[in-house]
Amino acid sequence: MYVCVHVTTASVEKSEQVCLQSKNVVLADTTISKVRNNIYDVLVIPGGMKGSNTISECSEFIDMLKEQKANNRLYAAICAAPETVLDRHSLIDDVEAVAYPSFERNFKHIGKGRVCVSKNCITSVGPGSAVEFGLKIVEHLLGRQVALSLASGFLLHPAVTF
């Protein structure tokens, strides 16, 4: 089975260079200001305090997220981002969500499990659930069979489900 997904990484900074919390530098494909009017099948927000706080302060990206939600398109966040981005901007008020456990306390509706799907929102608890999170996004974009096929090559522990 061959499937193609086009992924665009976008920096919320003025430059494509992004300095991560770990001090590693990665190069995004573009900046939010250049793609803010594009329509995407899913917007995915990475976790980590530094990055998710920076994303939360980017009004262009928050506007994109609000439009994504309003148009019933998929949006997803992991680790701290469900709180620092989605909850702070009232994007999970009407859905269940999970996050890194210490970040869930103010949620109106705390979900269950390591990955939570509620309406068009996917959230996940943190780094240890990143593979499950990614596979759940694939499942929603391309179907369960594609996600299962992809997962079979990962040699996941049998207890890992998505």
Catalytic residue positions, numbered: 79
- The size of the chain, in residues, is 162
Rounded Cα distance, 162 and 159, in Å = 10
DSSP state of 87: I
3-state SS assignment for residue 85:
helix
Q: How many other C-beta atoms are found inside a 10 Å radius of the C-beta of residue 159? A: 5
Kindly provide the residue ranges of all beta strands, DSSP E only, lying in the chain, ordered along the sequence.
Answer: 10-11, 17-19, 25-27, 30-31, 42-45, 74-78, 115-118, 121-124
Token pair, residue 160, equals: 């890992």
